[in-house]
């Protein structure tokens, strides 16, 4: 009934994804005993943050976690053609990445596209299905004049037609209401025979209410986090949901002493990263208007704080829905959350809307991220693109194969396909990381050679 998000979305939403693998290890065995259907432990922002800030190898993380989970499926979040990055990658990169993710221990892949553009999902779904893992198609949920129940049912049909094993309603901003949650789940269960999962955030205070409504409508799985990494901008807490759902479903018993240990452990972990903590002690009603998802909110607060502009947060939250409407009501999830959020910040800070425009907004207007749910403001297109016409084809169709060119470019710094993918996905950040790791290996070899009197082969 439950999928745990503590080790991915929980800390991504609350402490900017800063939890290290070392902090996860003591909890894995105990979490494995809680009868979760799966644990979301990889993907999303974890790949980038592992490399960019933690100097960890994300491939090693998934291997370590998989080795320590005997009863629970490992789950990752994949951004369709964007994989775990911020742009569309060529099809050969998608194929290599998905296969390597499965080889290294991923057993369930949740695949979504920020715009719900099925063209951006087809390749990753196809490759994932070939590997034999559980493939879940996710529906990015938002509110707008075009995002109706029929809109979501139509997108779900497209996912089911492509062979996904289950569906997920991905409510990244916590905008679902209990009534909508009930109706949407009920309609999905009525039309499709595959399992339905629901994922939400507590930012606006609606999370647990939505889950109970979803249970009453027949939902199969709920995404929750252990309480130290629940609530706020994260998911509803496992403990209280488990206690409540037992009145609706027959659930396996859990060891509350085990829960006590895990809660104590993760309280200490969260305190360890308090400098990154979003520090949200109550709900934020403004989210019902701005529709800012959990991970975006925590990073937005941090970015404005670093620029000593946190006092502008209210103005930015008011500007975000205006920008979103002009861009055709994209759901606010990576990468569109960053596209809309950064542009809203620029509009507020500069004092003149769109006087400074990011390259990401320009590419979005050109259609390089996919087809928006609704038409983009024509005046905005004219102002930014001039006479240039947006593309009509699948964005990835314009991309040349990348893998072999990148292999030549990175050379000996990448010792395997996993390291090659770090470079492809993260560019110069990945190159810098691989260079540092390569130099460390050389230093180790030199020290060993000296220890063995020059007889150790380098």
Average pLDDT over residues 31-47: 97
Tokens standing for 159? 């996912």
Phi, psi of 138 (to 5 degrees): -105, 140
Q: Could you name the CATH architecture of 292-395?
A: Orthogonal Bundle (1.10)
Whether residue 150 is predicted with pLDDT greater than 70 in this model: the reply is yes
What is the distance between the alpha carbons of residues 209 and 430, in angstroms, rounded to a whole number?
42
For residues 308-313, average pLDDT: 89
SS (H, E, C) the chain: CEEECHHHHHHHHHHCCCCCHHHHHHHHHHHCCCCCCEEEEEECCHHHHHHHCCCCCHHHHHHHHHHHCCCCEEEEEECHHHCCCCCCCCHHHHHHHHHHHHHCCCCEEEECCCCCCHHHCHHHHHHHHHHCCEEEEEEECCCCCCCCHHHHHHHHHHHHHCCCCEEEEEECCCCCCHHHHHHHHHHHHHHCCCCEEEEECCCCCCHHHHHHHHHHHCCCEEEEECHHHCCCCCCCEHHHHHHHHCCCCCCCCCCHHHHHHHHHHHHHHHHHCHHHCCCCCCCCCCHHHHCCCHHHHHHHHHHHHHCCCHHHHHHHHHHHHHHHHHCCCCCCCCCHHHHHHHHHHHHHHHCCCCCCCCHHHHHHHCCCCCCCCCCCCHHHHHHHHCCCCCCCCCHHHHCCCCHHHHHHHHHHHCCCHHHHHHHHHHHHHHHHHHHHHHHHHHHHHHHHHHHCCCCCCC
Q: What is the CATH number of domain 2-276?
A: 3.20.20.70
Q: What is the pLDDT of residue 457?
A: 47
pLDDT of the residue at 302: 77
Domain boundaries, the chain: 2-276, 292-395, 402-451
Residue 452: pLDDT above 80? no
Average pLDDT of span 119-144 = 97
Pairwise pLDDT comparison (387 vs 106), residue with the higher score: 106
- Reported as a pLDDT band with limits 50, 70 and 90, residue 294 is low
Q: What percent of the chain has pLDDT over 70?
A: 95
The rounded mean pLDDT for the chain is: 93
**What is the rounded average pLDDT of the residues 253-275?**
97
pLDDT of residue 141: 95
For residue 133, is it left (φ>0), alpha (ψ between -120 and 50) or beta?
beta
Classify the phi-psi angles of 431: left when phi > 0, otherwise alpha if psi is within -120 to 50, otherwise beta. Answer: alpha
pLDDT band (50, 70, 90) for residue 295:
low
Can you give the pLDDT at residue 335?
Answer: 83
Q: How confident is the model at residue 230 (pLDDT cuts 50, 70, 90)?
A: very high
User: Can you give the pLDDT at residue 356?
Assistant: 94
Check pLDDT > 90 for residue 212: yes
pLDDT tens-digit series, residues 278-290: 898 888 887 787 7
Query: Which is higher by pLDDT, 331 or 188?
Result: 188
Q: What is the mean pLDDT of residues 258-274?
A: 98
What is the mean pLDDT of the segment spanning 217-238? 97
Percent of the chain with pLDDT strictly greater than 90: 82
Which pLDDT score is estimated for 338? 86
For position 458, what pLDDT does the model report? 44
- Separation of alpha carbons 198 and 224, rounded Å: 10
């Amino acid at each position: 009934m439950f999928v745990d998000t503590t080790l991915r979305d929980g800390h991504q939403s609350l402490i900017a994804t800063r939890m290290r693998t070392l902090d996860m290890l003591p909890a894995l065995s105990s979490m494995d005993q809680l009868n979760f259907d799966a644990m979301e432990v990889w993907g999303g922002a974890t790949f980038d943050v592992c490399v960019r800030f933690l100097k960890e190898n994300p491939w090693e993380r998934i291997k370590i976690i998989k080795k320590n989970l005997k009863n629970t499926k490992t789950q990752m979040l994949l951004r369709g053609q964007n994989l775990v990055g911020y742009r569309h990658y060529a099809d050969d990169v998608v194929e290599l990445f998905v296969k390597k993710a499965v080889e290294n221990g991923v057993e369930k892949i949740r695949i979504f596209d920020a715009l719900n553009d099925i063209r951006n999902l087809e390749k990753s779904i196809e490759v994932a299905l070939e590997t034999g893992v559980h493939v879940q198609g996710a529906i990015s949920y938002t509110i707008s004049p075009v995002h109706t129940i029929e809109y979501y049912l139509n997108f779900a049909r497209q996912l089911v037609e492509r062979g996904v094993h289950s569906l997920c309603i991905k409510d990244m901003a916590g905008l679902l209401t209990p009534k909508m949650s009930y109706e949407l789940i009920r309609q999905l269960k009525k039309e499709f025979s595959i399992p339905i999962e629901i994922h939400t955030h507590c930012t606006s205070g609606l999370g647990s209410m939505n889950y109970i409504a979803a249970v009453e409508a027949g939902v199969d799985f709920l995404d929750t986090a252990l309480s130290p990494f629940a609530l706020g901008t994260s998911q509803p807490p496992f403990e209280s949901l488990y206690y409540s759902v037992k009145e609706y479903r027959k659930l396996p018993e859990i060891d509350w002493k085990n829960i006590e240990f895990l809660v104590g452990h993760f309280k200490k972990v969260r305190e360890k990263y308090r400098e990154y903590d979003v520090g949200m002690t109550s709900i934020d009603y403004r989210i019902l208007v701005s529709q800012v998802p959990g991970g975006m909110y925590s990073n937005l607060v941090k970015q404005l704080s670093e620029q000593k502009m946190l006092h502008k947060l209210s103005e930015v939250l008011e500007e975000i829905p205006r920008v979103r409407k002009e861009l055709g009501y994209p759901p606010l999830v990576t990468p569109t959350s960053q596209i809309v959020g950064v542009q809203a910040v620029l509009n507020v800070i500069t004092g003149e809307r769109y006087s400074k425009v990011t390259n990401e907004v320009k590419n979005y207007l050109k259609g390089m991220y996919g087809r928006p749910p609704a038409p983009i403001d024509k005046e905005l297109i004219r102002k930014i693109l001039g006479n240039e016409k947006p593309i009509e084809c699948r964005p990835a169709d314009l991309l040349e194969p990348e893998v072999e060119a990148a292999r030549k470019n990175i050379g000996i710094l990448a010792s395997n396909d996993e390291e090659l993918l770090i470079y492809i996905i993260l560019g110069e950040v990945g190159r810098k990381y691989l260079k540092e790791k390569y130099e460390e290996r050389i230093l180790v070899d030199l020290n060993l050679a000296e220890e063995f009197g020059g007889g150790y082969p380098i």
